Structure 1
């Protein structure tokens, strides 16, 4: 009996050792969504990115390009799901989700972010850029990089700036040659402090409203015109309710591309570099695409019957320009440095 018990104990001991050995040899690749930790030989990621524009917009196309670059540079271990047209909520909610890591990447409008960070108003200094190409050139400047660095205080990693195009003026009645043509007119603007101040200085009635309301507001006469970039104008077809376009280049319109600090911190140093390289490659492509679209979109609008004129002399706006520049230069040294950069 004792011999049998001893044999049983020996067998149990052997089985226990085998179990431990098998456990040590086990494992494998486990998917991590949004940068969550995973165990195994190679960690994979399925990131979430979001923005406010339609799928035809250059920002969405840039986000898709970013996904392609991530996949290529990571040898397939990084994937990106893109949620366009505010599918994950308005920008205020997007930022809240970015802060917690529920969303990994955001292509946020500089307009909204300028309400959260003073220095970003630099991009909305009036008539700072004669063309989109001029605006893109400042993307790599020291003041632009300083703006991205400041985003760390909000739990965000500032990655880059993309562009949709410069801003122009579409009116139901007539074109724009001077501030007098805008006095008392209700013009839909994007909600940014610097933009609001400029339009107020002109004497217009700046009216901030969500994009989905703009089409019917033009149609019903709630507003007289809009401050718009050509890509959005073509995408949203506002020209169906207002046919007078003045090419003014009075603002540019960037997207601030950010990553959740919470998500970023979960990546290895090597994976962080993959993200940075992928976004640079995508934005380099995207800004060139935006420049190319300026002429293509203009031709599309002309073919659609839009009456196009160009503001060739902006001297009548000089007092408003000076007023806004002086106000915001005093608010942020980055804005002051940015303006000096644009005037070189």
Structure 2
């Protein structure tokens, strides 16, 4: 009996040593695994355009960069074409942290932040390259910083191209060609003001309604960028495209501030670096697509007027610039910076 009791005590003591050693190894492993790294997670990204659009391609690129920089810990799931609701819904979801990232149209966001109307000042940019160059400007950084009051972290601006006019009947060379015409716009204070002053009837409507509205004659034309024109196939219902270049069209890339604040510092830096790399790639892709999309439209039988004299639009342009410069010092400074180059 004594021998059995002695052997039992020896076995229990040995077992305790083994368990202690295993516990120590586990503790050391946990500490090593957590050094400078956050948890594995999948972020949700929402936007309004189709999967073939350059904004979605940029979101995909961001996911690739994020996964690479985080050694696979961080991934993204993209919800295109308003799958999670309207842009107002997206902002609300970001406020609660239900969605972490969004590519929001500058048009919608300009209804929430006056300074974002800077991008929609008429005939400020001759081409997309000039607009892209202002992405790194102090004014652009101020615009992004202003979004913090809405619980959003402004990360960057990405572009779809400049805005042009597609009409069912004839080109848009002068304000007279547009007078009384129902032109679909995406809701924005600056866009609304411009088209009203031109003499057209600006009609705000979401993308999913535009195709049938053109088809049935509810609208006479649209204010559109070439990438959306190609991906949404609006040219099937209207054949006259005037390259007016009256405005550029960015997306404002934002992240939920509350989600960002919860990330470890290293992960915050990974997010910012991955997004910058993705947008650096995306803006060049947008410039390349501007040319490729034009060729696609010509091949599809669209009549294209590539150059117009913008002088007849100058008076309206000046009125809009003054209107919004009076509302925002950032808008005023943005215009001055571009026009001084």
Both structures adopt the same fold (TM-score exceeding 0.5): yes
* 1:310 positional shift: 2.5
Say whether 1:49 aligns with 2:25: no
* 1:76 positional shift: 1.5
Query: 1:29-71: CA deviations, max 9, x gaps?
Result: 99xxxxxxxx966522211111111000000000000001111
Say whether 1:58 aligns with 2:54: yes
The counterpart of 1:214, out of the listed 206, 210, 217, is 210
**SS of the counterpart of 1:106?**
strand
**SS of the counterpart of 2:77?**
strand
The counterpart of 1:204, out of the listed 185, 196, 200, is 200
The 4+ residue runs of structure 1 with deviation greater than 2 A are 7-30, 39-43
> Any residues of structure 2 matched to 1:212-251 within 5 Å, and which?
212-251=208-247
Stretch deviating more after TM superposition (244-253 or 306-315): 306-315
Match of 1:297 in 2: 293
| Structure 1 stretches lacking a partner, 5+ long | 31-38
Say whether 1:182 aligns with 2:178: yes
The counterpart of 2:266, out of the listed 267, 270, 281, is 270
Say whether 1:161 aligns with 2:161: no
* 1:176 positional shift: 1.2
Provide the aligned length of Structure 1 versus Structure 2: 336
Could you tell me how far apart the structure 2 residues matched to 1:322 and 1:110 are?
Answer: 21
Say whether 1:150 aligns with 2:153: no
Match of 2:251 in 1: 255
* 1:81 positional shift: 1.1
Partners of 1:244 and 1:306 within 8 A in 2: yes
**SS of the counterpart of 1:250?**
coil
| Structure 2 stretches lacking a partner, 5+ long | none
Query: 1:152-180: CA deviations, max 9, x gaps?
Result: 11111111000000000000000011101
Distance 1:97 1:246, change over 3 A: same
Query: 1:199-228: CA deviations, max 9, x gaps?
Result: 000110000011111011001100000000
Could you tell me how far apart the structure 2 residues matched to 1:57 and 1:325 are?
Answer: 30
The counterpart of 1:115, out of the listed 102, 111, 119, is 111
**SS of the counterpart of 2:246?**
strand
**SS of the counterpart of 1:248?**
coil
> Any residues of structure 2 matched to 1:24-173 within 5 Å, and which?
25-26=25-26, 42=37, 43-173=39-169
Over the residues paired in the alignment, what is the CA RMSD in angstroms?
2.4
* 1:97 positional shift: 1.0
Could you tell me how far apart the structure 1 residues matched to 2:89 and 2:283 are?
Answer: 26
TM-score, normalised to structure 2's length? 0.91
Distance 1:28 1:58, change over 3 A: farther
* 1:135 positional shift: 0.5
TM-score, normalised to structure 1's length? 0.91
Could you tell me how far apart the structure 2 residues matched to 1:188 and 1:27 are?
Answer: 62
